[in-house]
Amino acid sequence: MSTFSVEVSHYALDGDRSTATSALLAGSITHKSSLSEVLVTKVANLSAHSVVVGLQWPRMHYFYDTRSETADTLLLAESLRQMTVAIAHSLLEVPFDRKFVLTSLAIDDVRPIPAFSPSRPTDVLVKVAVTAKMGGAMRVQGLRLEVDFTANGLSFATGSIDTRVLDPATYQRLRCSSGLLRSVVEEPGDASGKHGRPGRFTRSASATVSKLEGDSGWVLTPDLAHPLFFDHPLDHVPGMFVVEAIRQALSEHLEVPAHHPVAIAISYWKMVELDESCTLRLISRPSDETKLDVELSQHGHIVVTGSVSSGAALLFEPK
């Protein structure tokens, strides 16, 4: 495992709005087809081992909760994902044909955003430590980011993400070995409900999970036309959909609408396939009343594990 060093121009951390949010990056750099979904505004190297990333979160969004002073779990996770591919392409010269396979993601210590105002976009500076796993010919084969989200000079969340970086041939071998390769060919919809009822894709109308009877958990219910999760063709359930499915299951379990955890940690052992039903379970921890373990299973195998926390005791008593 080795870290990288890239020579770029100086990037000021003086709180000047123009340095953090001068312009959105191209959608291709963040792997988003729609420019309106791009969150990253700036990527620059501060030293041999550290990077700073500028983000701008919108005042209002049809899906993300951007009106609350506590950051949306999914928005933090998607920001992490976009940072990873933006750093890879813009600083590490990773080719655009490479596939990024998410292996772990964690958000921790989520607190109110400093000096938050719902009347304006939220400008965020993220301090990033990057570790790159290098292969033959010094090609990047994997990335780990450890991050600190800050606003107005103060931290309000931390996180980490691990990804594999695969060339097309290696990715194809990986996917074909599952025997379940399927591409999404349906055209993505739009937030106004292009392919159905008005507002079909808002968060309140977008159920990512459906409760099973008894204590059997939830089943994932991906909508392949959803413009946020499927804005370009995919051959698997995206990692961000899994994040939202866990959040929605926790919210239903606690009977608290639109609940956001203060911490979430996910390990992706296998890709969640589109062809078969996937079951999500929340499992209590007798030793820690503030956390639930998470388990997703498909084809009789565990494909995702993790934990989620609301940061308060006595919330997870069996119902």
The confidence score (pLDDT) of residue 307 equals 96
Q: Is 240 helix (H, G, I), strand (E, B) or coil?
A: helix
Six-digit token string for 96: 């655009």
How many domains does the chain contain in total? Answer: 2
Token pair of 141, please?
Answer: 């084969």
CA angle, 102 as apex, 187 and 67 as ends, to 5°?
70
**Strand, helix or coil at 280?**
strand
Question: 272 lies in a domain?
Answer: yes
Residue 53 sits at φ, ψ, to 5 deg, of -125, 130
Quote the pLDDT of residue 17. 36
Question: Is residue 47 packed enough to be buried (19+ CB in 10 Å), middle (13-18) or exposed (0-12)?
Answer: exposed
Residues 46, 141, single domain; the answer is yes
Q: Tell me whether residue 213 is exposed, middle or buried, using C-beta atoms within 10 angstroms of its C-beta: 0 to 12, 13 to 18, 19 or more.
A: exposed
Residues 34 and 116 in one domain: yes
Pair (30, 131) in one structural domain:
yes
Beta strands at 40-45 and 301-309: parallel, antiparallel or unpaired: unpaired
* Cα within 13 Å of Cα(6), Cβ side: 21
Provide the residue range defining the domain that includes 293. 180-309
Q: Looking at residue 166, what is its pLDDT?
A: 95
Is the domain of 192 the same as that of 112? Answer: no
Q: Which two tokens stand for residue 264?
A: 């979430």
- Specify the residue for token string 């998410």: 102
Give the CATH number, domain containing residue 23: 3.10.129.10
pTM: 0.86
Of 124, 140, 170, the residue at which a domain comes to its end is: 170
Task: Of 158, 172, 162, give the one whose Cα is nearest residue 140.
Answer: 162
In this structure, is residue 249 part of a structural domain?
Answer: yes
CB-based contact 42:91 (threshold 8 Å): no
Q: Choose one of 149, 170, 191: the last residue of a domain.
A: 170
Among residues 170, 200, 223, which one ends one of the domains?
A: 170
Give domain status of residue 115, yes or no: yes
Q: Identify whether residues 73 and 163 lie together within a single domain.
A: yes
In a domain, 102, yes or no: yes
Same structural domain for residues 147 and 187?
A: no
Cβ-contact 20, 40 below 8 angstroms: no
Both 152 and 94 in one domain: the answer is yes
Tell whether 264 and 285 lie within a shared domain: yes
Identify whether residues 161 and 213 lie together within a single domain.
no
5 is a domain residue:
no
pLDDT at 205: 63
Residue 103, pLDDT score: 98
Residue 293: which of 308, 277, 278 has the closest Cα?
Answer: 308
Quick one: 137 and 230 in the same domain? no
pLDDT tens for the 319 residues of the chain, in order: 454 433 333 333 333 333 444 555 665 677 777 777 899 999 988 876 789 999 999 999 988 999 999 999 999 999 999 999 999 998 998 999 999 999 999 999 999 999 999 999 999 999 999 999 988 777 899 999 999 999 999 999 999 999 999 999 999 888 887 655 555 545 555 555 555 554 677 766 677 889 998 777 999 999 888 888 988 888 899 999 999 999 999 999 888 877 889 999 999 999 999 888 999 999 998 888 889 999 999 999 999 999 999 876 534 444 3
pLDDT at 289: 80
Residues 111, 205, single domain; the answer is no
For residue 24, the model assigns a pLDDT of 56
Residues 6+ apart with CB under 8 A from 199: 62, 191, 192, 193, 205
State the Cα–Cα distance between residues 128 and 51, nearest whole angstrom: 5
